[in-house]
Amino acid sequence: MNMTTNMRPVSSAALKQAVEQHLTYTLGKDAGHASVYDWRMALSFAIRDCIVEPWFRATRSTYEGQRKRVYYLSMEFLIGRTLEDAMINLGLLEAARDVANEVGFDLREIIEDEPDAALGNGGLGRLAACFLESMSTIGCPAFGYGIRYEHGLFRQRFEGGQQVETPEDWLTLPHPWEFARPESAYEIGFKGEAVDGGWRPAESVVASAYDMPVIGWQGRWANTLRLWGAKPTTLFDLERFNSGDYAAAAEPEALARTLSRVLYPDDTTYQGKELRLKQEFFLTSAALQDILRRFRTEYDDLAKLPTKVAIQMNDTHPAIAGPELIRLLTDVHGMEWSQAQEIARATLGYTNHTLLPEALERWSTWLMGNVLPRHMQIIERIDDDHRRATKRPAHVGIVRNNEVQMGELAFIMSHKVNGVSALHSDLVKKTVFHDLNEIHPGRIINQTNGVTPRRWLKLANPPLATLISDKIGEGWIGDLEQIKTLEPFAKDADFRRDFRAAKRTNKVALSNWVGETMGVKIDPDAMFDVQIKRIHEYKRQHLNIFETIALWHNMRENPNAGWAPRVKIFGGKSAPGYAVAKEIIHLINDVASVINSDPVTKDLLKVVYPPNYNVSMAERVIPATDLSEQISTAGKEASGTGNMKFTMNGALTIGTLDGANVEIREQVGPENFFLFGLTADEVVKHRRNVRHARDAIEASQNMQSVLQMIVEGRFSPSDPDRYHGLVDRAWNHDHYLVAADFDSYYDAQRKVDALYLDPDAWEEQAVLNTARSGFFSSDRTIRGYMADIWETESALVGEESLT
Ligand code: Z15
């Protein structure tokens, strides 16, 4: 089967006809009165039509070849926009541009009319979206399973410099990329009681499927993202209704309406809320019922499940999959306990994404027993079996201190457990799963994260993508290792000039956007120094803003000392309940307004923080970045994936030896990376000194001045005490070692200045960063999962090679 030859190139004329057909007959609009929204919908339907054929063919090929399928279970898929990505992967961008122009619209305007699908918080959700695209590009038969949240991640505004959240409502307008599948629906139970060898739930909802096609590069393959929406089992409890208890009669509806209503807005912290546990079970049970139903239409022996099905748990959020699969195999399909346990383990894999204690899910046995009584029994039996089999004392168990430890449960129920960068996987073995690693040597492996070069280079950065393709051909798009053939051009002055020109085009576009949306004028020739990610103490945006203050202070003292002009760009959301992160946001905005109105430094330094950072903003900012800030406390950032996007786009990194920074530095060469700060081992030792912050501050004139300016109210003159708490924490509760790393960071930044003032030397290093980014394609990551965890093969093997 060959997808490429069957995918007819669509001419502009043919596409125009298809768009007009949809405008008229699907949308019922007259072209003379069509808005940008109408044209976007018509174009989306026309493009979607081109996906349907390859999508069917991929499905048929999987059935006919009796291929093993991968099921990626995730509470988050941070997709962003779909239209442009689909057009790029189908090679229809140019045809679409012609069509838009002919009907009197700008294609960019149509593309940007699409709201982001923000069904995720940050790295974990965006990784899931990159993985889906790579699985389709590679031809790995797969389904993503998630929740169709009516409200994705909240929108962020700033009022007086403070974060204000408003609800996100991407589904208010029809979403052209989903197909409702009301015929694929499953009942999901909650509460009630465990009865011998079974469960009688007291409540239930229906999980109803919505499918989105995921098209790979050049349309060779397509997979499905299946999102579940909650529906009431019955609109009314008739018995209660008839007996006059009207409020209680509507309860089933109330539960269904809340279940898939909203995404929990926490990244790397969990809250322990009953509704969240219900959401996790809702996703997991719907997915497993669907997987078993599909398996049973093709095969008769459930013992063969692991040969045809691989299920990946994205973090512990779907870790109830272990007990639920055992329950379905035993209670529903009559399999014997020990075989069910073996089959489940051989089918499941678990990815760990963090070591932060506040992120490790633990559910009280009371809550678990109440919401999922049968599963609580099963968990206890898994725990007993494991203790007996491994002759371990109680303290290594799943159930400890009256809590179900979801990490332990996921580990024990999986045949492979993976970390997301080399350093992180190493720390997983040494810390959270130290004991389990000794009991099950070889179960923990590493799969370093990656990102899709289609979205993060070709789509986001057309000037650079075109330049690269002109030099080395288009092979890099489907095989990023080929980008290393750019390396020799780092020494080619003409190429460096073109590389610089591409970056400048992106910087001009970003400057214009910042000017229009924020009213701040920034200079495209200044260094664009960018930190965009969730706001979290471990990511240390406060280290960055402290350094900004020191830099500003020193620039004012000595304006002619040959500073490199900079624009500090911040982007990111805080969890609504995370007070310290919100204080950091407030400080950044306060510092920005003081610095941006200072006449002394007006040509040297600006600080901008555009609100509502999301996938689309990342696509705008990353290609325009000179310097990427990856400054987490060593040992805390499991991997990072933004760091990889910057490297691909020719930014240099200033960073600690944390997460995937370690591998980025190895790949690009230590001479092309600005390293600073304590190592993960040193961080652990340093913390033993209770005076670590005090000692560091007392030794640093710069750090003292910064804290002094803040505490005096320099950045909050109308409310001088505003940051007393923050400054007190810097001296006395500096858990993330900002003080200890401050001088090292400040000094590394001055080396960045020096290099920026030598454009030729800077550009050489920037080219080498792009040329050596091949390892960070999510295609490489997915091939690793396929070989080491899923034991699956590409359905495109033997097809024409990926060029
Ligand atoms: C999340 O975005 C990440 C980890 C988590 O445990 C949760 Cl709940 C959310 C991030 C990591 O912080 C980041 O380092 C990593 O690159 C990303 O997952 C993908 O693995």
Query: What are the tens digits of pLDDT across the range 416-457?
Result: 999 999 999 999 999 999 999 999 999 999 999 999 999 999
pLDDT value for 9: 56
Q: How far is the CA of 455 from the centre of ligand 1 (A)?
A: 20
Q: Per-residue pLDDT tens for 352-383?
A: 999 999 999 999 999 999 999 999 999 999 99
Nearest CA to ligand 1 atom 19: 124
Does the structure show a pLDDT above 90 at 237?
no
Query: Does residue 268 line the site of ligand 1, with CB under 6 A?
Result: yes
Residue of minimum CA distance from atom 4 in ligand 1: 353
Position 27, amino acid? L
pLDDT of residue 238: 72
For residue 241, what pLDDT band results from cuts at 50, 70 and 90? Answer: confident
- The pLDDT assigned to 549 comes to 99
Ligand 1, atom 7, lies closest to the CA of: 268
Q: Check residue 235 and give its pLDDT.
A: 64
| pLDDT computed for residue 663 by the predictor | 99
Please tell me the distance from the alpha carbon of residue 651 to that of residue 510, in angstroms, as a whole number: 15
Residues 79 and 130: beta-carbon distance below 8 Å: no
In which band, very low, low, confident or very high, does the pLDDT at 1 lie, cut at 50, 70 and 90? Answer: very low
Tell me if 73 sits within 8 A of 321, measured CB to CB: yes
128 lines ligand 1 (CB under 6 A): no
Cβ of 124 below 6 Å from ligand 1:
yes
Question: What class has domain 453-776?
Answer: alpha beta
pLDDT > 70: percent of the chain: 98
Q: 265 C-alpha vs ligand 1 centroid, how far in Å?
A: 13
How far from the centroid of its chain's Cα atoms is residue 776's Cα?
15
Token pair for residue 659?
A: 């997460």
Contact between residue 591 and residue 545 where contact means Cβ atoms under 8 Å apart: yes
Q: What is the pLDDT of residue 268?
A: 85
The whole-model pTM stands at: 0.97
In the CATH scheme, what is the homologous superfamily, with its name and number, of domain 71-84+118-449?
Glycogen Phosphorylase B; (3.40.50.2000)
Ligand 1 pocket check for 658: Cβ under 6 Å: no
End-to-end CA distance of the chain: 17
Q: How far does residue 64's CA lie from ligand 1's centre (Å)?
A: 37
- Residue 248's pLDDT is 78
What would the two tokens of residue 207 be? 């999980």
Ligand 1 centroid, distance to 268 Cα (angstroms): 6
| pLDDT tens digit sequence for 181-195 | 999 999 999 999 999
pLDDT band at residue 797 using 50, 70 and 90 as cut-offs: confident
- Which atom belonging to ligand 1 lies closest to the Cα atom of 351? 20
Ligand 1 atom nearest to 638, measured from its CA: 14
Give the atom of ligand 1 at the shortest distance from the alpha carbon of 420: 20
User: Residues 704-713: what's their mean pLDDT?
Assistant: 98
Of 72, 77, 119, 267, best ligand 1 pocket probe by most atoms within 8 Å of the beta carbon: 267
pLDDT for the residue numbered 245? 82
Residue 231 φ/ψ, nearest 5 degrees:
-130, 150
Residue with tokens 């290609």: 623
Strand locations in 460-559 (E): 527-532
Scanning 197-336, the segments in alpha helix (DSSP H) are: 238-242, 246-249, 251-259, 274-298, 305-308, 321-327
Q: Are 308 and 69 in contact (CB under 8 A)?
A: yes
Q: Is residue 393's pLDDT more than 80?
A: no
Question: Is 773's pLDDT higher than 80?
Answer: yes
Q: Which helix (H) or strand (E) holds 143?
A: strand 142-147
> What's the DSSP call for residue 151?
B
Helices (H), 103-159: 107-112, 123-138
Is the CB of 267 inside a 6 Å radius of any atom of ligand 1?
Answer: yes
Q: What is the pLDDT of residue 398?
A: 98
Q: How far apart are CA 417 and CA 319, in angstroms?
A: 12
Q: Would you state the pLDDT for residue 799?
A: 66
Locate 697 and state its tokens. 């501050």
pLDDT tens column, 776-793: 999 999 999 999 999 999
Is the minimum distance from the CB of 639 to ligand 1 under 6 angstroms?
A: yes
Per-residue pLDDT tens over the stretch 580-639: 999 999 999 999 999 999 999 999 999 999 999 999 999 999 999 999 999 999 999 999
**pLDDT of the residue at 554:** 98
pLDDT top residue among 76 and 392: 76
Please provide the size of the chain in residues: 803
Long-range contacts of 273-276, Cβ-Cβ distance < 8 Å, separation of 24 or more: 274/367, 274/371
Mean pLDDT, the chain, integer: 96
Confidence at residue 802, expressed as pLDDT on a 0 to 100 scale = 37
Same fold, 71-84+118-449 and 453-776: yes
524 pLDDT exceeds 60?
A: yes
Query: Which band of pLDDT confidence, cut at 50, 70 and 90, is reported for residue 234?
Result: confident
Q: In what order do the strands lie in the sheet with 527-532?
A: 605-608, 566-571, 527-532, 627-630, 652-655, 674-675
pLDDT category at 7 given cuts 50, 70, 90 is very low
pLDDT of 800 higher than 70: no
Residue 508 in contact with residue 524, Cβ under 8 Å? yes
C-beta of 641 in contact with ligand 1 (< 6 A): yes
Ligand 1 atom nearest residue 269's Cα: 8
Q: Which two tokens stand for residue 368?
A: 């678990």
Cβ of residue 316 lying under 6 Å from some atom of ligand 1:
no
| pLDDT of 4 higher than 60 | no
Catalytic positions, written as ranges? 353, 533-534, 539, 641, 645
Average pLDDT score over residue span 271-299: 98
In 3D, which of 37, 9, 12, 84 has the Cα closest to residue 620?
84
Q: Which sequence spans correspond to the domains of the chain? A: 71-84+118-449, 453-776
Is ligand 1 within 6 A of the CB of residue 632? no
Atom of ligand 1 nearest to the CA of 121: 2
Q: Where is pLDDT greater, at 307 or 256? A: 307
759-776: b or e for each residue (b if 16 or more CB lie within 10 Å)?
A: eeebbbbbbbbbbbbbbb
Q: Counting atoms of ligand 1 from 1, which one is nearest the CA of 641?
A: 16
Residues paired with residue 80 on neighbouring β-strands, in sequence order:
117
- For the beta sheet containing 309-314, the strands, ordered from the edge strand earlier in sequence to the opposite edge, are 179-190, 203-215, 222-232, 142-147, 69-73, 309-314, 348-351, 416-419, 444-446
* CA 320 to ligand 1 center in whole angstroms: 19
pLDDT at 801 over 60: no
